[in-house]
Amino acid sequence: MKKTLSVFLSAVLAGVAIALGGTVFLLLESKLAGAVFFTVGLFVVCTRGLHLFTGRLCYVFERDAAYARELPVIWLGNLCGATAVALLERAARIAPALSERAGALCAAKLGDGLVSLFVLGAFCNVLIFLAVDGFRNNPHETGKYLALFFGVTVFILCGFEHCVADMYYFAAGGAWGGGQAGGTLLRLAVITLGNFAGGVAFPLLHRAIARLQNG
């Protein structure tokens, strides 16, 4: 029980970190600058060892069943953290700007097709895996941070879908109200599945290539 609570609280903090990245992305006029500074979210997650669903799922086939069972707990913790930030921001003077810009993002996501969202989610987590794995395994200190920087910046600029960032955008843009909750939840589920597919595909294929080369 203590382990589960620890994982959940760590996931809440990870959701907060990603939401703060989403906040700066929404507030900056320049999409490029917003993409660059969104990196703060994954930077905090990786340097503090927090539990982020999109990063942790990439290693599910390398770990045991207990690791896999933690993933739903992490997803829920991320949702709570990201949503809490959006709700608290409603009491601040930045609320109108955030609501307007998040609302426009939500409209595009809710109007998109499910196949499109799945594909965009898959490509997003290919880049997240490259960012996280680069941070974990790059022997050069500078290379670790460049992996985070390029992975996050590129997925933002491409418009790929990150389920935890979308948890924040949906809450900030009011996408859970007005009879939209069902459609919002469906799209968040499809994006999550896309993230899962992209997150596990690259490491699985990489290991398959290594086996072929060594066989």
Helix, strand, or coil (residue 113): coil
Q: Which amino acid is at 3?
A: K
**214: number of Cβ within 10 Å:** 6
Distance CA 28, CA 35 (A): 9
Work out the number of other CB atoms within 10 angstroms of the CB of residue 133.
Answer: 18
- What CA–CA distance (Å, rounded) separates 171 from 78? 13
Q: What pLDDT does 66 receive?
A: 94
> Residues 146-167: what's their mean pLDDT?
97
- Give the position of tokens 């596990």: 200
Residue 186: pLDDT band with limits 50, 70, 90: very high
pLDDT bucket at 142, cuts 50 / 70 / 90: very high
Q: What is the CATH number of the domain that holds 63?
A: 1.20.1080.10
Question: What CA dihedral angle connects 116, 53, 8 and 78, to 10 degrees?
Answer: -40
CA atoms of 113 and 7, how far apart (whole Å) = 33
Instruction: Report the pLDDT value the prediction gives residue 215, as an integer from 0 to 100.
Output: 66
User: Total domain count for the chain?
Assistant: 1
Expressed as residue numbers, the domain containing 101 is 2-214
What average pLDDT does range 178-189 have in this prediction?
A: 94
Using the structure block, give the residue that is written with the tokens 């709570």. Answer: 80
Residues 191-215 pLDDT 10s: 999 999 999 998 888 788 878 888 6
Q: Is the pLDDT of residue 45 over 80?
A: yes
What mean pLDDT is predicted for residues 129-148?
93
What DSSP state is assigned to residue 189? H
Separation between Cα atoms, residue 124 and residue 53, nearest integer Å? 13
Task: Say how many CA atoms lie within 13 Å of 200 toward its Cβ.
Answer: 13
**In which band, very low, low, confident or very high, does the pLDDT at 179 lie, cut at 50, 70 and 90?**
confident
**What's the pLDDT band for 18 if we cut at 50, 70, 90?**
very high
Express each pLDDT in 52-100 by its tens digit.
Answer: 999 999 999 999 999 999 999 999 999 999 999 999 999 999 999 999 9
